[in-house]
Chain A
Amino acid sequence: MSTKSSSTVSANIGSEQSVLFRRPLQLACGTVLEEHSLTFETYGQLNDAGTNAILICHALSGDHHAAGTNKDNVVGWWDSYIGPGKPIDTDVFFVVCPNNIGSCFGSTGPASPAPATGNVWGAEFPVLEVSDWVKSQTYLMEHLLIDCWAAIIGGSLGGMQAMYWAVNYPKKLKHAVVIASSLKLSAQNIAFNEVARRAIQSDPNFHQGNFIEHQTRPTQGLALARMIGHLTYLSDHALGRKFGRLVHSGDLDSAEKELVEFEVSSYLNYQGDKFARRFDANSYILITKMLDYFDLGANFENNIKDAFKQAACKFLVISFSSDWRFSPDCSKLIVDALIAADKDVSYLEIESDQGHDAFLLPNKRYEQGLQGYLKHIAKTLFKVAV
Chain B
Amino acid sequence: MTDINSIIEAWVEKSSRVLDLGCGDGQVLESLIASHQVHGYGLEINSESINHCISRGLNVIEQDLNEGLGNFADNSFDSVLMTQTLQTLRFPHLALDEMLRIGRQCIVTFPNFGHWRTRGDLGFRGRMPVTKQLVYQWYDTPNIHFFTYKDFEVLCAERNINVVNRVFIGGITNDFGLDAIWPNLFAHTAVYNLSK
Chain B neighbourhood of A24, CB < 8 A? none
Complex CA gap A372/B53 in Å reads 9
Stretch at the interface among A99-107, A265-273, A341-349: A341-349
Contact yes or no, B55 A345, CB < 8 A: no
Whole-angstrom CA separation of A20 from B59 in the bound complex: 40
Decide if B55 touches A376 in the complex (CB within 8 Å). yes
Contacts of B53 in A (CB 8 A): 346
Query: Once the chains bind, are B41 and A376 in contact (CB under 8 Å)?
Result: no
Q: Does B62 contact A (CB under 8 A)?
A: yes
Q: Separation in Å of the A81 CB from the closest CB of chain B?
A: 16
**Within 8 Å CB of B160, what residues of A?**
none
Once bound together, how far apart are the Cα atoms of A40 and B54, in whole Å? 30
- A346: chain B residues at CB < 8 Å are 50, 53-54, 58-61
Q: Which residues of A contact B104 (CB under 8 A)?
A: none
Question: Residues 358-382 of chain A: 1 if any B CB is under 8 Å from the residue's CB, otherwise 0?
Answer: 0000000100110011011000100
Q: Which A residue's beta carbon lies closest to that of B42?
A: A346
Instruction: Give the residues in chain B near A369, CB-CB below 8 Å.
Output: 50-51, 54
* Residue of B56, B59, B63 ringed by the most chain A CB atoms within 10 A: B59
- In the complex the two chains form, what is the Cα distance from A373 to B73 in whole Å? 27
- By a CB distance below 8 angstroms, the chain B residues around A56 are none
Distance between A323 CB and nearest chain B CB, rounded to angstroms: 14
Main SS at interface, chain B: mixed
Determine the interface band of chain B, counting residues with CB < 8 A from chain A: 20 to 34
Q: How far is the CB of A5 from chain B (nearest CB, A)?
A: 32
Least Cβ distance of B39 to chain A in Å?
Answer: 6
Interchain CA distance A345-B61 in the complex, whole Å: 8
| A368–B73 touching, CB < 8 Å | no
Q: How far is A346 from B61 in the complex, measured between Cα atoms in Å?
A: 5
Interface centre among B17, B50, B62 (most CB of A within 10 A): B62
26 inter-chain pairs at a CB distance below 8 angstroms, sorted by A residue, are A316-B54, A335-B61, A339-B41, A339-B72, A339-B76, A340-B73, A342-B17, A342-B39, A344-B59, A345-B59, A345-B61, A346-B58, A346-B59, A346-B60, A347-B60, A348-B54, A348-B62, A349-B62, A365-B47, A369-B50, A369-B54, A372-B51, A373-B55, A376-B54, A376-B55, A376-B57
Q: Known contacts A332-B71, A342-B39, A372-B54; can you find 16 more A-B pairs with CB under 8 A?
A: A336-B71, A336-B72, A339-B76, A340-B73, A344-B59, A346-B50, A346-B53, A346-B59, A346-B61, A348-B50, A372-B51, A372-B55, A373-B54, A376-B54, A376-B57, A380-B57
